[in-house]
Amino acid sequence: MSAEQARETLRQYAEALLARGDYAQFFADDVEFSLIGTDQHARGRNEVEQAIRFMHETAFDARPEIKAIVVEEHAAAVEADFVGTHTADFAGEAATGRSVRIPYSVLYDLEGHKIKALRIYMPMDALLGQIRGTSRSEVASSPA
């Protein structure tokens, strides 16, 4: 796949994700999802779609605000903010209705016109701090 084809695949995926449409069509059958630094992993088109929908539509009513995209022939990176409202249980925290805005990055492995893997890097301590209404430094210093 050329870098232009990879960019178009990622653009169409992002469009479908933002519209809460059928973005699973852009996943390879054996796609892998990891939320780095947590035990959140999924494999397979349906499982990965459900993991992403859980974050954007169940635990939060959220959308990515994309800041930058870098695309090569077989890989892409996105820098974004995860912006929304905490609407359901997440990491043992019941819904608070609090607003969240967390920077994060996603690295994609691309194969053909499909996403083969997604690795999400998100500061979970900051996200939990916003859910709890505490600062990031308070979360980092509090016992688990």
pLDDT (tens digit, 9 = 90+) per residue, 54-104?
A: 999 999 999 999 999 999 989 999 999 999 999 999 999 999 999 999 999
**Cβ of 54: how many Cβ atoms within 10 Å?**
15
**Cβ of 142: how many Cβ atoms within 10 Å?**
12
Cβ burial of 109 (10 Å; 0-12, 13-18, 19+) is middle
Closest to 5 in 3D by CA, of 106, 115, 79: 115
Q: What pTM was computed for the model? A: 0.87
Of the pLDDT bands very low, low, confident and very high (cuts 50, 70, 90), residue 1 is confident
**Cβ of 18: how many Cβ atoms within 10 Å?**
14
- What is the rounded distance in angstroms from the CA atom of residue 55 to the CA atom of residue 49? 10
- What is the rounded distance in angstroms from the CA atom of residue 47 to the CA atom of residue 31? 9
- What is the rounded distance in angstroms from the CA atom of residue 47 to the CA atom of residue 54? 10
Of the pLDDT bands very low, low, confident and very high (cuts 50, 70, 90), residue 135 is low
Structural contact between residues 104 and 90, judged by C-beta atoms closer than 8 angstroms: no
Q: Which residue has the tokens 């819904």?
A: 95
